[in-house]
Amino acid sequence: MTHESRGAVVVTGASSGFGARTAQVLAEEGHPVVAVARRADRMESLVSHDPELKIWPMVADVRDADALEKAFEELPEEYRNVSALVNNAGLSKGLEPIQSGDRGLWREMVETNIMGLLNVTDLILPRLVARNAGHIVNVGSITATYPYLGGNVYGATKAFVHQLTLNMRVDLHGTGVRVSCVAPGMAKTEFALVRYDGDADRADRLYDGLAPLSADDVAQTVSWCLSRPPHVNVNMIEIMPTDQYFGLGFPASGSSR
């Protein structure tokens, strides 16, 4: 980071994909990392990947504000001096157009992508304001800007993330706390598998015809945002595969793979 005094970094959604790789990258750079996720077995795997890295596995659901607060109260001392937060936890469920949507899936996306982000932010932000320094990176999505069929509620939750980032910048002016949004395009992680309800073949076919982003591409982008000097605030970064244009658009052949 400038990396503000090498304090601890909280990374949500850290059991796989962007979150797991971001936790690893930041720990490799020397930061104590609090890795937050629901799946205990995945958290054990993350920590055992390299026992030399300082990664504290926090098994918690971002939708449960009370459980989050309790878990943070139990942090070891070396992980308490939080200097940054990566709000990565999120999911996409359902493929139907809005007129055929499932209110249960809508609720799950809103509670995770919006309320989950707010719960963690509400817990961490006062600590950053009190130290007059810090950085929050919200992981958004290009779907906040470029719609595609079936991306209705998910895209709207990510538009919330983008707009909240800008409004937080205004509210936090003069506090020394920076806020950024990283908005990835198509990336090959477990994200699509969740969206397709575990259908691995269908999830894999989504990437036919292009070389998608990797979790490492996004993790390195997050790290770069955090590493800017204190007088620089990266408001927004969109990152796409070269083969993708907007939404889910990409050529059927001639990819850079």
Once rounded to an integer, what is the mean pLDDT over residues 98-121?
Answer: 98
Q: Please say if the pLDDT value at position 116 is more than 90.
A: yes
Residue whose tokens read 């607060």? 69
Q: How far apart are CA 26 and CA 31, in angstroms?
A: 6
Residue 203, pLDDT above cutoff 70: no
- Is residue 135 within 8 Å of residue 4, measured between CB atoms? yes
List C-alpha distances in Å: 199 to 126, 203, 216: 41, 6, 24
User: How far is the C-alpha of 187 from the C-alpha of 241, rounded, in Å?
Assistant: 8
Q: What is the pLDDT of residues 136-147, one digit of tens each?
A: 999 999 999 999
If phi > 0 it is left, if psi is from -120 to 50 it is alpha, else beta; for residue 12 that is beta
Tokens of 38: 């629901």
The answer to whether residue 245 is catalytic is no
CA gyration radius, the chain: 18
Residue, of 35 and 210, whose pLDDT is higher: 35
CB 106 within 8 A of CB 207: no
Amino acid 4: pLDDT: 54
User: CB-side exposure of 23: number of CA atoms within 13 Å?
Assistant: 32
**What number is the average pLDDT over the span 101-127?**
98
Tokens of 109: 């996306």
Q: Which two tokens stand for residue 183?
A: 């908005």
Q: Of residues 137 and 247, which shows the higher confidence score? A: 137
Percent of the chain exceeding pLDDT 70 equals 88
Catalytic residue among 79, 146, 154, 196: 154
Residues near 196 by Cβ (< 8 Å), separated by ≥ 6? Answer: 95, 202, 203, 206
Per-residue pLDDT of 27-59, as tens digits, reads 999 999 999 999 888 888 888 878 899 999 999
Domains of the chain: 4-185+217-239 (3.40.50.720)
